[in-house]
Structure 1
Amino acid sequence: MSLYRKFQKFMQLIENTSHQKLRGGYYTPPTIASFLLQWGAHGIPHPEILEPSCGDGVFIEQLKLLELDFSSFLGIEYDSEEAEKAARIILRDKKVKNCDFHEFCLTTRKKFDLVVGNPPFIRYQYYTESMQVLAAEIFKKAGMKYSKLTNAWVTFIVGSSLLLKEKGRIAFVVPADLLQVTYAKQLRDFLIETFNQVNIVSFEELVFDGIQQEVVLLLCERDGTNRRSIDHIDVKNAESLHLLLDKGMQFKAKTINKNSDKWSYYFLSNEEISFLEGLSSNENENIGRFASVEVGITTGANQYFCVPKEIVERYDLTRFANPMVGRSVQVPSLLFTQEDWLKNVDKGSRAFLLNFNSGKAVAKHKGARDYIAFGESLEIDQGYKTSIRDDWFVIPSLKLSDALFLRRNHSFPRLVLNCASAYTTDTMHRVFFKLGTDPKSFIASFYNSFSFAHAEIVGRNFGGGVLELMPKEVESIYLPYGNNSDLFDDIDVMFRAGEPIEKILDYTDQKILIEKKGFPKELVTLGRNIWRKLSTRRMRRSKK
């Protein structure tokens, strides 16, 4: 694709993006703003307060209504119209400054007792070049590395932490991504090193009107001691925050596990955390011990290369068409057979992957030439992945795998034996057995409460309540591998009969965990309850 066309597409992206999204402004519900101010100012005499992105003044209004005792309040706002609105609010010892927080952070000598607010959610590509440079400087000042995956809210938290006095607090509304996404791991490590107590408040319900973004409240305190602890509290909705205020805003002190990549652990009790840490520490019993996991085939254009029978017949592409499976609904059980694939074909599913081998292979085939020309008319050849190939229509890394693991899962994670010699796209991961691994024992061993609970922790919550796991995360899942091939057919029958997953787990937990592995029933019950707690919390997002 030419530089001019790339520029055109980028400008179109900008034009089609709302002003609200570009500036990252989603206004904080007053109840949440009130809670953050009350928590942050609690016990601090005459605090000096900073809000790094004050918008039209929601926090200022709440500060006024609460009549809190504070020394000064400084609001920073980049948007001049919003800054003007905030400035018009009458409040003593308040000042609003219309400027870029990045510049303010790097130039001010002022320190604050409390930094509070709702930082903007702006992706790197929407930053101006000057903002990108300044953001990188903030990270450098904090001893951190800046990357193009970094969202503005991360930069604002890091910068705000630099502006605190030796003893101080930050109180922010942030995306739930903080808890688990890879690009926020550096921030998680930074917060643990910077603050003595880190508290997370999450919500059962979505609290921002009109958007599906799940948020949490990040409450961090630096008190001058050497202690390091973390806690998490789950409340129903924003209105339920008053219950925390009524209880004196007391948080428990859970020990921080510095080896944990994610903070999803802290949704659990100390007993539950210890149990999962035990599973994680057993390197001889995880999926990676018995198999390797790779991403599925990257076609560069799944809708073009993955086709139904009708397209194969129309262009006479039988010699280039290979069995494939790409969606969870196409896999009815823990076993994918030739019969299952044929049913998908008959339903009109995209059950074929087109492998054109090379330019020479298609040169003498009219149907292939016509279909490739059709792809070029759609500009498939100009996509990022396709444009860098010698022949844009030749898909690399076409390896058949022994099993399949769904990249994104709904009610529970799925591991499937591939008996149909079916290819899969990047919607599923490819699983390759290591020498000595029994296929049916491997698959059957996965369907138990311990593996399911561990998968919830090592994966991440995706939009709509989906559990997403990447290859290395899949390999790390606890697997009570053993001679469980005798259970495989029973589990397959239960799946195909539409039995509830809880009933299937009742059977597999008893056979695999209790009878074969010798785990006490109380521990198995604990594992099941952990899975229920984490999956139920995640699935609540799919019902909104």
Structure 2
Amino acid sequence: MKLIENASADKLRGGFYTPEPIAAFILKWGINGNHNDDILEPSCGDGVFIEQLKNSEYNYKSITAVEFDSVEAKKAAKIKLNNKTVINTDFHLYCNETLQRFNLIIGNPPYIRFQYFDEEQQMEAAKIFNRAGLKYSKLTNAWVSFVVGSSLLLKENGKIGFVLPAELLQVSYAQQLREFLAHFYNKINIISFEKLVFPDIQQEVVLLLCEKNNSGSHLIEHLELKDADDLKNLDVEVLKSPSKKIDFKSNKWTYYFLEQEEIDFLENIATKHNIPTIGKYAKVEVGITTGANNYFTVPLTTVNEYELNDFAKPMVGRSVQVNSAIFNKQDWEINSNLNAKAHLLVFPSSKNLNDHKGAKAYIKFGEDMRINKGYKTGIRDDWFVVPSIKVSDAFFIRRNNLYPRLIINEAGAYSTDTMHRIFIKPDTEIEAFTASYYNSLSLAFSEVTGRSHGGGVLELMPSEAERILLPYQLNNKKLLLTIDKMLRDKKNIDDILKITNIEILKKGYGLTQKEINLADKIWKKLSNRRLNRGK
């Protein structure tokens, strides 16, 4: 996988190449006894897959390798292998122009954001999406268009085998890709790894192995190995018969880490017990985007040094500053007195500063630090005026460790984009709303709707948080103080759930003990898998 974050020359061409055990296994799975395959590698880099094919004893008809970078293409061209063609061009262009079709398409496509495509690449990628009946957007990553384009180049029966970011299973911009794959292929196998394959970039990857055979069935299976070396002992025969039914709806493929009974439970529980989602009772928005949190969020010492009391507003910016289900004024004062960054600087426009010496001095300090040249600050009329200053009713932690927390904002504090803002809808009781969240079913859905990162972090975007099931009942309000106290006392979440699952799920919504146990099992399975990756 070729990751682009800082747009260095090395990363723009792709700097993270496929480990040999992975390339060898994908070839072994793909060829699997065939002797007459036309093979395509749409982004061959310096030729890892070609080398593996050279070192094997597989019989094949031809291999075509496409590589955008001329230096890497020359390296691949030097590998001595029969019936090999290396083409130095952009895959998107090749895909739209070639008439050749292939039995097997393999590789490790580039992981490049839309903004790093040149205009021609964007146009050619859009053509691929149009051919597949899909919508192309600026959120689309290169690996998505490589998967779609490769699928279009398959013969009537054929396979693709790719190394892809685990975002495939989770992120919203890959949602239509998941739907496309589910309909296009008859067999899908996903192989994930407990240990990071690319530890230097903290990027979790999976192997996507798809087969098109026109059987009419659509099945999927997930298999998790310890690391890439375990592939050497994996019999490809176990991948011949995936057993789980593909969900043609837009559910995330995180589901397929689970057993079929668990999948069926998650798909049916909301309808069976008429359980709504967070979005029915609240609007979830990103926190305040300052453009430079380290500058606009300050401790009390900075407020005093520059005499900024007129502009300093109470805020909470880190999850460690909140250890409860209710964040009150006393909690905020404790953070402030501990010199935490508990103050948000909300400056008026330049014409309304009224020659405030402290404010002007701090703004001058920001300009000396070039804060005014930032991506967000640089487009403002007054770079130091932060937009969307609103106090929310509650907070939802954006990035989480053990589990996501929902917190009432009793202190009336602001929050940066490290937390989401919760705005309660009319006729919703905030105490009941918050208490209703702390149960195993809601926590299970937080794992399913969110996305995990390489370090074991669970992140949820606002739309994802709104899709979490929330068994809301007015009567749940009575649980709030107990939940809050237990969190403040650092009680294990399991101790809280023993109480809340009975009151919220069993008594409130009629779930059986078996269903409650299943929800708890799903939450623990998914969260433990995620947390173990961070160790």
Task: With the length of structure 1 as denominator, give the TM-score of the two structures.
Answer: 0.91
The 3 A distance-change label for structure 1 pair 398 and 96 is: closer
The 3 A distance-change label for structure 1 pair 98 and 292 is: closer
Is 322-331 or 396-405 further displaced after alignment? 396-405
Letter in 2 for 1:480: P
Identity %: 55
Secondary structure in 1 matching 2:235: helix
CA distance in 1 between counterparts of 2:104 and 2:509 reads 52
Identify unmatched segments of 5+ residues in structure 2: none
Secondary structure in 2 matching 1:150: coil
Aligned to 2:167: 177
CA distance in 2 between counterparts of 1:200 and 1:507 reads 37
Is 1:337 matched up with 2:328?
Answer: yes
Aligned to 2:369: 378
Aligned to 1:443: 434
Is 1:31 matched up with 2:21?
Answer: yes
Shift of 1:140: 2.8
Q: 1:301 aligns with which of 289, 292, 300?
A: 292
Is 1:506 matched up with 2:477?
Answer: no
Shift of 1:76: 2.1
Letter in 1 for 2:160: I
CA distance in 1 between counterparts of 2:6 and 2:402 reads 34
Is 1:518 matched up with 2:510?
Answer: yes
Alignment check: 8 A CA contact 1:279 1:478 kept? no
CA distance in 1 between counterparts of 2:280 and 2:239 reads 44
Aligned to 2:530: 538
Shift of 1:209: 5.4
Identify unmatched segments of 5+ residues in structure 1: 1-13
Alignment check: 8 A CA contact 1:20 1:26 kept? no
C-alpha RMSD of matched pairs (Å): 2.3
Q: 2:79 aligns with which of 84, 89, 95?
A: 89
Shift of 1:16: 6.9
Secondary structure in 2 matching 1:397: coil
CA distance in 2 between counterparts of 1:372 and 1:79 reads 45
Is 76-85 or 153-162 further displaced after alignment? 76-85
Is 186-195 or 269-278 further displaced after alignment? 186-195
Secondary structure in 2 matching 1:210: helix
Matches within 5 A, 1:331-370: 331-370=322-361
Alignment check: 8 A CA contact 2:189 2:239 kept? no
Aligned to 2:40: 50
The 3 A distance-change label for structure 1 pair 527 and 376 is: same
Alignment check: 8 A CA contact 2:182 2:247 kept? no
Matches within 5 A, 1:233-272: 233-245=223-235, 247-272=237-262
The 3 A distance-change label for structure 1 pair 165 and 333 is: same
CA distance in 1 between counterparts of 2:284 and 2:262 reads 28
Shift of 1:203: 1.0
Secondary structure in 1 matching 2:522: helix
Is 85-94 or 35-44 further displaced after alignment? 85-94
Aligned to 2:301: 310
Aligned to 1:290: 281
Letter in 1 for 2:134: M
CA distance in 2 between counterparts of 1:323 and 1:158 reads 48
Alignment check: 8 A CA contact 2:68 2:91 kept? yes
Shift of 1:256: 2.2
Secondary structure in 1 matching 2:200: coil
The 3 A distance-change label for structure 1 pair 90 and 171 is: same
Secondary structure in 2 matching 1:344: helix
Shift of 1:18: 4.2
- Superimposed CA distance per residue, residues 486-531 of structure 1 (whole angstroms, 9 cap, x where no aligned partner): 2222222221122222222223223322344332222111111111
Shift of 1:360: 4.5
CA distance in 2 between counterparts of 1:505 and 1:296 reads 28
Is 1:204 matched up with 2:211?
Answer: no
The 3 A distance-change label for structure 1 pair 49 and 459 is: same
Aligned to 1:459: 450
Is 1:421 matched up with 2:382?
Answer: no
Letter in 1 for 2:11: K
Letter in 2 for 1:502: D
Aligned to 2:142: 152
- Superimposed CA distance per residue, residues 396-454 of structure 1 (whole angstroms, 9 cap, x where no aligned partner): 33222211111111110110011111111121111122333222222121111100000
Aligned to 2:462: 471
Aligned to 1:8: none
CA distance in 2 between counterparts of 1:531 and 1:519 reads 16
Aligned to 1:529: 521
Aligned to 2:400: 409
Alignment check: 8 A CA contact 1:442 1:481 kept? yes
CA distance in 2 between counterparts of 1:125 and 1:437 reads 41
Secondary structure in 2 matching 1:319: coil
Shift of 1:141: 2.8
The 3 A distance-change label for structure 1 pair 332 and 195 is: same
Aligned to 2:311: 320
- Superimposed CA distance per residue, residues 152-204 of structure 1 (whole angstroms, 9 cap, x where no aligned partner): 22222122112111111111111111111122222222222322222211111
Letter in 1 for 2:420: H
Number of residues of Structure 1 aligned to a counterpart in Structure 2 = 530
Task: With the length of structure 2 as denominator, give the TM-score of the two structures.
Answer: 0.93
